[in-house]
């Protein structure tokens, strides 16, 4: 499929693994100039090699970023501006489950640490990169939310609230900047095979004194019984939708949220 993004500069956060890495591979194969962004340089180097293995002719670089630190975000934006004359595509896959547990035991600090990454991280990114998209006169922004925004789980209240905020933020921005050629959309996955959910399953396996595979089976049956396809999703299945939203093919898609959840959310709306 020709996404018509050859030569576009795409910065992808959370790009060292999972959905972010799979998105980078697809966009690289389509000829976009890829900037991988995440916390740890060593893991970014490995991710860069993985992208080049998938797209040997691609132009790929990396930069470390801490979304909880505004100065770090601004520094990355300045680097992209100086080296590539600004970005055209911004995909925010970075996030953390954050503090989880009974609502009454979660502290202000628990909430703030989750908000700082999962909500304010997206705010900082958009604030830093929208001027570059405006200057280039074309832009695609995809923010990764979650099924939790629609179907919240009681033990993840900070994460639930942040992901609902992401969808609202995307809609707000879509109304503000679309006339300048900038389109904003969300993708909401559910129980995808990523390092974050791997860690959740490892913890569950330890608690239940079982294997990860057995923990996944138990989790699907007892905690996510509404996933109609009956399995964990693959990161590339989410990345395919993100890549479409980054393209010229999605020129009339704006302020929308695409659920890539295997049918996990029970309601139609």
Listed range (160-174, 178-192, 217-231, 250-264) with the worst mean pLDDT: 217-231
Whole-structure pTM value:
0.94
Residue 229 to residue 226: CA distance in whole angstroms:
9
The answer to whether residue 218 is domain-embedded is: no
Domain that holds residue 94: 9-191+235-260
pLDDT of 85 higher than 90:
yes
Would you say residue 18 lies in a domain? yes
**Rounded to the nearest 10 degrees, how much is the dihedral formed by the CA atoms of 191, 194, 171, 37?**
170
Strand pairing report for 257-260 and 182-189: parallel
Is 79 part of any domain?
yes
State the helix-helix crossing angle for 195-208 and 212-222, rounded to 10 degrees.
90
Number of domains within the chain: 1
Question: Does residue 269 form part of some domain?
Answer: no
Candidate from 95-99, 134-138, 237-241 with smallest mean pLDDT: 95-99
What are the residues facing 191 on neighbouring strands? none
Please report whether residue 110 resides in a domain: yes
Q: Which residues are catalytic?
A: 159
- pLDDT of 195 higher than 90: no
Whether 198 is covered by a domain: the verdict is no
Q: What is the CATH number of the domain that holds 48?
A: 3.40.50.720
The pLDDT value recorded for residue 31 is 97
**Partners of 173 in beta bridges:** none
Residue 216 domain-assigned?
no
> Residue 213 domain-assigned?
no
């Amino acid at each position: 499929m020709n996404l018509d993004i050859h030569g576009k500069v795409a910065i992808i956060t959370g790009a060292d693994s999972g959905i972010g890495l799979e998105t980078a591979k697809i966009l690289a194969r389509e000829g976009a100039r890829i900037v991988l962004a995440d916390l740890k340089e060593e893991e970014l180097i490995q991710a860069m090699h993985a992208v080049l293995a998938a797209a040997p002719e691609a132009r790929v670089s990396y930069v470390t970023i801490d979304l909880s630190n505004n100065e770090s975000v601004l520094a990355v934006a300045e680097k992209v501006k100086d080296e590539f004359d600004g970005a055209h595509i911004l995909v925010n896959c970075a996030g953390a489950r954050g503090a989880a547990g009974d609502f009454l035991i979660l502290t202000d600090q628990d909430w703030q640490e989750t908000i700082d990454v999962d909500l304010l991280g997206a705010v900082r990114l958009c604030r830093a990169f929208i001027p570059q998209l405006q200057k280039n006169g074309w832009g695609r922004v995809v923010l990764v939310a979650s099924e939790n925004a629609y179907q919240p789980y009681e033990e993840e209240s900070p994460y639930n609230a942040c992901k609902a905020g992401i969808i609202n933020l995307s809609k707000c921005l879509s109304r503000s900047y679309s006339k300048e050629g900038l389109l904003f959309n969300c993708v909401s996955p559910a129980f995808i095979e990523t390092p974050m959910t791997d860690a959740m399953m490892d913890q569950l396996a330890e608690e239940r004194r079982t294997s990860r595979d057995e923990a996944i089976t138990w989790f699907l049956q007892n905690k996510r019984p509404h996933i109609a396809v009956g399995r964990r999703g693959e990161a590339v299945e989410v990345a395919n939708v993100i890549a479409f939203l980054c393209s010229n093919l999605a020129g009339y898609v704006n302020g929308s949220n695409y659920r890539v959840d295997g049918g996990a959310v029970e309601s139609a709306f």
